[in-house]
């Protein structure tokens, strides 16, 4: 068990029927590191997330969260994980507070501790004053903020975000990108961020390029640019995926 | 500490379901209207056509409305069980099921909690229905209203587990119409909810056997006897067994390595 690795994916493969969605995927993420998983639609990002969250089971390969095998030590591993899914997973007819309380109950937090954590996370995202509002009344950006707050309530070590900025306007998108980078740095949180937008990548980020289920590049932004002999991530991506475009 | 975690999570799930039910007024009303229409219209119309002999648990001749009341209670729970399966498919499509599935508790426990939550809602619906029926002069002995509680819990769990099992097979929300046609209607009509077994036997031996072994019939009989303060052992064993079988199959259905979840989802 190596606790300095927050998330480790080893030799992971997965197929839907005969169609291979992931092929021998390998990477590691350290605490405090923000890793962007860049890939076009259908690259296998969502499948990878479903395997890490154990919605699907990986027959080939191994996934460890803070040293816990997701298959054998599922509950210990899941306790370390915070997730923001691509689609919104909030209950629209409940208030922000009710949604967050539901999450704290699922994680076994008691009343006082739960209220404290909810207040802390919502205040950090400037959403505490809106805690009594129904989620339906919030705009897309604010809903995302609530989902990020929720994912952090149980103090996970690894935060997964599956294209969390899809459908948001530019200011909301940039604010969320900035906040998550800040979280990684300040809270020593390991972040895995699936995206197909290159402006969400910061120069110090760890970059993984996934294409047709295979890891085409894995390293710092500079490593990837050097390896592809390109000057921009856009060009690097174009080279690695043989013609796919990113925005 | 671990037990407390389970306890809090279970009440979190049940509380959320009850709150949603209370705030969704249309769902509450439609859940009541269906059996009430059957009681006030269908049963009233059939009263003259159907003669009923004295059969346990009844000790005297009864009106058809009285006979079908336990069947309609079963209907409430059947629809509720299927509705919860519908909401599971919806939740899965919308993603909120994922939030439940990634919390650090065993999947069987989460499914059981979800089932208990759905059953709690159906028990609430049944008591409101019984209260309305009481004013319509369908009155059981007062102990019956207490005895029916455990029977409702078991029948609700059994029908909910069936819904859960179906939800693990249904890929998309649209397929729910199929559940209506192939599960709800056959189960309801091929049961003792609307007519007693001996009456079915008079017209068809095959139908009689189907009704006899239909778990929904057994749940209805369990409720019928409980409402009159009696315990129907056969119905109890049959309903309990059906619950265990459906629940076990549903847990397998939601198991990430064995079940239907493997065939779902996108890239």
Each residue's pLDDT expressed in tens, for chain B with a length of 267 residues: 588 899 999 999 999 888 888 887 787 888 888 889 888 888 877 776 666 667 777 777 777 888 889 999 999 999 888 877 777 766 666 667 788 888 899 988 988 998 999 899 999 999 999 999 999 888 888 888 999 999 999 999 999 999 888 887 776 656 667 777 788 888 888 888 888 877 787 888 888 888 888 999 999 999 999 999 889 999 999 999 999 999 999 888 877 665 545 544 433
Edge-first strand order for the sheet with A190-195 is A81-84, A158-162, A190-195, A34-38, A206-211, A214-220
For position B264, what pLDDT does the model report? Answer: 47
DSSP bridge partners of A8: A28, A64
How many angstroms away from the CA of A7 is the closest CA of chain B? 16
Q: Tens digit of pLDDT for each residue in A213-223?
A: 999 999 999 99
* More confident of the two residues B47 and A61: A61
For position B81, what pLDDT does the model report? Answer: 86
What predicted TM-score, i.e. pTM, was given to this entire model?
A: 0.84
Please answer yes or no on whether A75 and B101 come within 8 Å at the CB atom.
no
Which chain A residue shows the shortest CA-CA distance from B263?
A: A16
ipTM of the complex: 0.82
Quick check: helix, strand or coil at residue A165? coil
At residue A25, does pLDDT exceed 70? yes
Q: How do the domains of chain A map onto residue ranges?
A: 1-80+156-247, 92-155
Q: Is A132 exposed, middle or buried (0-12, 13-18, 19+ CB in 10 A)?
A: exposed
Please answer yes or no on whether A91 and B96 come within 8 Å at the CB atom.
yes
User: In a mutagenesis test of the A interface, which of B12, B20, B108 is the best target, namely the one with the most A β-carbons within 10 Å?
Assistant: B12
Please answer yes or no on whether A56 and B23 come within 8 Å at the CB atom.
no
Nearest residue, CB atoms, B102 vs list A43, A46, A83: A83
Nearest residue, CB atoms, A88 vs list B4, B95, B267: B95
Domain A1-80+156-247 belongs to what topology?
Rossmann fold (3.40.50)
């Amino acid at each position: 068990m190596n606790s300095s690795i927050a998330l480790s994916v080893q030799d992971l493969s997965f197929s839907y029927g005969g169609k291979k969605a992931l092929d021998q995927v390998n990477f590691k993420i350290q605490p405090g590191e923000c890793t962007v998983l860049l890939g076009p639609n259908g690259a296998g990002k969502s499948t990878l997330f479903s395997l890490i969250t154990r919605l699907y089971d990986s027959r080939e390969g191994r996934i460890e969260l803070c040293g816990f095998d997701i298959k054998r030590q599922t509950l210990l591993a899941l306790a370390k994980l915070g997730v923001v899914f691509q689609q919104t997973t909030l209950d629209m007819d409940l208030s922000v507070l009710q949604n967050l309380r539901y999450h704290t109950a699922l994680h076994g937090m008691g009343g006082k501790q739960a209220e404290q954590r909810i207040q802390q996370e919502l205040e950090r995202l400037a959403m505490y004053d809106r805690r009594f509002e129904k989620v339906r009344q919030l705009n897309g950006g604010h809903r995302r903020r609530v989902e990020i707050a929720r994912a952090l309530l149980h103090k996970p070590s690894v935060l997964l975000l599956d294209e969390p900025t899809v459908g948001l306007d530019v200011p909301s998108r940039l604010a969320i990108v900035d906040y998550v980078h800040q979280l990684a740095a300040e809270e020593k949180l390991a972040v895995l961020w699936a995206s197909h937008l290159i402006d969400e990548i910061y120069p110090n980020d760890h970059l993984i390029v996934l294409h047709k289920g295979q890891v085409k590049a894995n390293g710092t932004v500079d490593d990837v640019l050097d390896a592809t002999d390109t000057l921009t991530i856009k060009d690097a991506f174009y080279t690695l995926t043989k013609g796919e475009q990113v925005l | 500490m671990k037990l407390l975690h389970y306890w809090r999570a279970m009440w979190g799930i049940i509380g959320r379901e009850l709150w949603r039910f209370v705030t969704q007024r249309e769902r509450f009303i439609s859940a009541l209207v269906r059996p009430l229409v059957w009681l006030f219209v269908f049963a009233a119309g059939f009263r003259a056509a159907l003669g009923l002999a004295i059969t346990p648990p009844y000790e005297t001749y009864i009106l058809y409305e009285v006979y079908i009341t336990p069947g309609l209670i079963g209907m409430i729970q059947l629809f509720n069980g299927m509705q919860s399966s519908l909401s599971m498919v919806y939740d899965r499509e919308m993603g909120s099921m994922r939030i439940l599935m990634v919390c650090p508790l065993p999947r069987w426990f989460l499914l059981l909690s979800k089932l208990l939550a759905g059953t709690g809602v159906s028990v609430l619906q049944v008591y409101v229905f019984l209260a309305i029926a009481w004013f319509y002069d369908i009155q059981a002995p007062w102990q019956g209203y207490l005895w029916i509680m455990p029977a409702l819990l078991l029948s609700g769990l059994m029908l909910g587990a069936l819904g859960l099992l179906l939800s693990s097979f249904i890929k998309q929300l649209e397929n729910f119409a199929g559940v209506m046609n192939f599960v709800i209607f056959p189960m309801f009509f091929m049961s003792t909810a609307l007519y007693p077994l001996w009456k079915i036997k008079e017209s068809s031996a095959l139908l009689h056997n189907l009704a006899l072994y239909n778990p929904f019939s057994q749940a209805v009989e369990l409720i019928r006897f409980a409402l009159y303060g009696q315990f129907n052992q056969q119905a109890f064993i049959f309903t309990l067994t059906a619950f265990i079988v459906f629940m076990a199959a549903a847990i397998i259905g939601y198991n990430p390595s064995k079940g239907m979840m493997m065939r779902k989802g996108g890239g």
